[in-house]
Amino acid sequence: MLKRVVLVISIMLLVTSTAAKAAVDFIYPGPNSSVTSSGHLIFKINQSDITSLRITLNGVAGDPVNVGSPEYRKLFQDFFIAQSLWDPGANRVIVDLFRGGQKIESANLSVFFADAGGQKVPPEYSPVIMHRQENERFCQSCHTMNPTPAQMNSSIEKENPCYVCHKKMLSVKYVHGPAGTYSCGYCHSSKGNPKHAVAKRGAALCYECHSDMAVQIKKKKFVHGPVEAGMCEACHDAHGSQNESQLLKPINELCLSCHGHIRGQVHVVRTTTGEGHPLSGKKNPTKLATGKDMNCVSCHNPHGGMVRYFFVNNAEERMLLCQMCHNK
């Protein structure tokens, strides 16, 4: 009789203990989330005696991480924080947990990465937001989650309350002025909904500081479609990128992403080889180009101009465009 009670209790203990705690709690992104950028993967390990873990992303296993070392525990306790490298589309993460070389448990996570490719997010995934009270409560013991105005306005990297977690987005070749001075609070508001949402988008935001450009655009007879629509962010990243002027893509790729038909046609003129005019790979000979290669903006102003097709020299007569580069 006694034996049976002990057995029942121990089975109950086993059941309740496994039901109560999963191996890890995925904090960001949570289970079945969709994300629009490859940010971080953050979870909490629920067993204190785990010595190492291994992450397998889409079948590719990473190196084991020694999460049991005193150095690791001192810095991160039971948190695991890594930069993620999502593949476009559905991603499957497996976390294997080890104790002294022996695998104890595994946990799974599905994440959908909708990159700029424009894939449809399947209905089983929902968009995720990091800066919510349920998530931030896990971070505030080590990070400043509710900075003072003085902290927000500091342009010193070490003092900036956003930099420590978002430094990756600024480690690019061309950083946008206000992002580079850590003026995150100019565009992002802690009172936004969700928190840190930007109050204004596109031209309404950009013209607050680039008012000279608003004046220039107003004067143009022909304004480029997306500029007219105020879609500055269709071409420029508000934080920075690997391309000059913080463009989302190298210039020709950017233009061709909307004007794909140019790729397959003879553009400007049929040359002696039967191909179109060179649009890349040759030096632009005009003085203003300072030795840069030919590209779409060698001839077209990306924002607009005084003549149709926004030719950079603003001349009605096509020959004058050619003569910019070809001696009469």
Span 259-318, contacts to ligand HEC by CB under 6 A: 259, 262, 267-269, 271-272, 277-279, 282, 284-286, 294, 296-300, 302-303, 308-310, 318
Nearer to ligand HEC, 98 or 224 (CB): 224
Which residues in 126-185 contact ligand HEC (CB under 6 A)? 129-131, 135, 138-139, 141-143, 147, 161-162, 164-166, 168, 170, 176-179, 182-184
- Tell which positions 209-238 bind ligand HEC, by CB under 6 A: 209-210, 213, 224-227, 231-236, 238
Q: Could you tell me if 64 and 30 are in contact, meaning their C-beta atoms sit under 8 angstroms apart?
A: no
Number of amino acids touching ligand HEC (CB under 6 A): 105
User: How many Cα atoms within 13 Å fall on the side-chain side of residue 148?
Assistant: 4
Binders in 36-75 for ligand HEC, by CB under 6 A: 36-37, 39-40, 42, 75
CA distance 139 to 158: 18
Strand duo 240-241 + 222-223: pairing: unpaired
d(C-alpha 1, C-alpha 11), whole Å: 15
Type and span of the H or E element at 310: none
- Restricted to residues 68-127, the positions that interact with ligand HEC (CB under 6 A) are 75-77, 79, 81, 83
Listed ranges 62-70, 85-93, 95-103, 195-203: which one lies at the site for ligand HEC (CB under 6 A):
195-203
As a three-state string, the secondary structure of 221-279 is: CEECHHHHCCCHHHCECCCEECCHHHECCCHHHHHHHHCHHHHHCCCCCCCCCCCCCCC
> How near is the Cβ of 237 to ligand HEC at its closest, in Å?
8
- The gap between the terminal CA atoms of the chain, to the nearest Å, is 109
Tell me the residue nearest to ligand HEC as measured from the CB: 39
